[in-house]
């Protein structure tokens, strides 16, 4: 009998653990058929700041988290929860009348996660960072959208080596896939070498500058630019532009540019290499856009960078050197046709004069901070 009693106590303790310290109360609870609310003591409900959940969650459990615990949590740990799909709107905080605070915390997503449903990470007026611990899931629509233009942020956990991040983007480790863009920091374009724009990556994002998809891009997933907006600020001298440098039109998924456009109501315009204009105008998905040759953009380009760019000239080559890192360059002939596009990742590069077709070529220089310049080099 004593052994049975000890075993029963061990089972109870293992299903619910508590730690308390100066950094708040940490609670671990296993939810399996019982309501989450019933599994927590009054003390835990009042003091928990770090909640780890295993097992599975029902809609009423999500509702309890949302309505009763969000304001006090700093971490919701679902790492070991048995969850493969996050349902719609489970994190959509609706502010309670008279409560001025809004939730600010981190959610560790389940390692078993495979799908994010429509509006699943919609956080209302909360500020939540979602930490990805496993493979990137498939997505429904408006997964990241929030109220008043807010957008959830998703980033890999420290031990998730399949991904890397910049202040704006989340990439695969090799840089070939762009998974997520943070619209709050949309001041630079994707890095050269990206081949795949993942579904929903820029959904509901906006920029008032230029967004340039590098020549390396060959496919763009479902809804990647759905509701992507390019507002024109009052007094802005250079209108926003969407540029795709790929010579061959990238393959498009479903509804890639659904509702994309300008706040002025103008049709969505895309600039592409001049030799590819007709290819884009006849390609599935692209033909629904207004397509212009990239030379039209180059001719109106103003330097968007304050970088110092020195151009040295020898008998056989040009040496271009800047005071900040050049990410890549794209070269065009006088007709706007792409000659070459190459990664640099250095402060200088050399262009042989023998590469210049005809009397001159235009070189678009992209700096690592997302700004750029265009120079004209004569033969």
214 and 84, same domain (yes or no) = no
Kindly tell me if the per-residue pLDDT of 87 is higher than 90. yes
Domain endpoint, select from 277, 300, 323 = 300
Confidence check: pLDDT of 23 > 90? no
Of the residues 136, 160, 184, which one is the last residue of a structural domain? 160
Is residue 5 a part of any domain in this protein?
A: no
Q: What is the pLDDT of residue 221?
A: 98
Q: Does one domain contain both 213 and 276?
A: yes
Q: What is the C-alpha to C-alpha distance for residues 65 and 276, in angstroms, rounded to an integer?
A: 52
Domain co-membership, 143 together with 30: yes
pLDDT one-digit tens code per residue, 164-194: 999 899 999 999 999 999 876 677 889 999 9
User: What are the C-alpha distances in Å from 185 to residues 206, 293, 348, 377, 379?
Assistant: 10, 28, 27, 33, 40
**Same domain, residue pair 263 and 283:** yes
**DSSP β-ladder status, 309-313 and 317-332:** antiparallel
Residue 29 is predicted with a pLDDT of: 96
DSSP state of 136: P
Q: pLDDT digits over 223-235, tens only?
A: 999 989 887 665 4
127 domain-assigned? yes
**211 inside domain:** yes
Q: What is the pLDDT of residue 138?
A: 97
Residue at 79 is within a domain: yes
At 10 the pLDDT is 41
Domain holding 108: CATH number? 3.80.10.10
Task: Give the angle 23-131-140 at the CA atoms, nearest 5°.
Answer: 140
More confident residue, 267 or 315: 315
Residue 222 counted as domain residue: yes
Let me know if residue 276 belongs to a domain: yes
* Position with higher pLDDT, 131 vs 335: 131
Residues 143 and 187 in one domain: no
Tell me the mean pLDDT in the region 217-242: 80
| Total number of domains in the chain | 3
pLDDT given for residue 301 in this prediction? 45
Task: Give the mean pLDDT of 69-91.
Answer: 94
Is 47 within a domain? Answer: yes
Cα of 331 vs its chain's centroid, Å: 28
Domain holding 221, by residue range, is 162-300
DSSP 86-123: E-TTTT-B-PPTT-----EEEEE--TT--EE-TTTT--
């Amino acid at each position: 009998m004593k052994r049975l009693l000890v075993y029963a106590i061990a089972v109870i303790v293992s299903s619910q653990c508590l730690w308390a310290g100066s950094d708040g109360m940490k609670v671990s609870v296993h939810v399996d058929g019982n309501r989450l609310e019933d599994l927590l003591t009054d003390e835990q409900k009042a003091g928990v700041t770090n909640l780890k959940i295993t097992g599975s969650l029902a809609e009423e459990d999500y509702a309890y988290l949302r309505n009763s615990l969000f304001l006090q949590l700093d971490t919701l740990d679902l790492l070991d929860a048995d969850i493969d799909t996050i349902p719609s709107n489970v994190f959509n905080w609706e502010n309670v009348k008279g409560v001025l605070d809004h939730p600010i915390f981190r959610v560790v997503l389940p390692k078993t996660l495979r799908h994010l449903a429509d509006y699943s990470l919609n956080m209302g007026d909360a500020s939540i960072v979602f930490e990805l611990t496993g493979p990137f899931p498939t997505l429904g629509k408006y997964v990241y959208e929030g109220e008043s233009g807010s957008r959830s942020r998703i980033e890999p956990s420290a031990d998730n080596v399949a991904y890397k991040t910049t202040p704006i983007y989340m990439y695969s480790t090799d840089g070939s896939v762009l998974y997520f863009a943070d619209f709050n920091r949309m001041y630079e374009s994707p890095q050269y070498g990206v081949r795949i724009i993942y579904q929903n990556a820029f959904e509901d994002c906006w920029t008032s500058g230029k967004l340039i998809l590098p020549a390396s891009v060959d496919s763009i997933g479902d809804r990647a630019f759905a509701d992507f907006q390019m507002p024109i600020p009052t007094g802005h001298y250079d209108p926003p532009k969407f540029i795709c440098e790929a010579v061959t039109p990238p393959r498009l998924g479903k509804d890639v540019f659904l509702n994309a456009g300008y706040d002025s109501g103008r049709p969505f315009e895309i600039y592409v290499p001049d030799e590819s204009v007709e290819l884009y105008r006849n390609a599935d998905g692209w033909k629904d856009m207004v397509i212009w040759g990239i030379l039209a953009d180059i001719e109106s380009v103003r330097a968007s960078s304050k970088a110092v760019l020195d151009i040295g000239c020898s008998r056989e080559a040009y040496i271009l050197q800047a005071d900040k890192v050049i990410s890549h360059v794209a070269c065009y002939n006088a007709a706007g046709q792409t000659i070459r596009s190459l990664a640099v990742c250095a402060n200088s590069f050399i262009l042989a004069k023998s590469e210049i077709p005809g009397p001159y070529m235009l070189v678009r220089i992209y700096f690592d901070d997302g700004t750029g310049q265009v120079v004209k080099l004569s033969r």
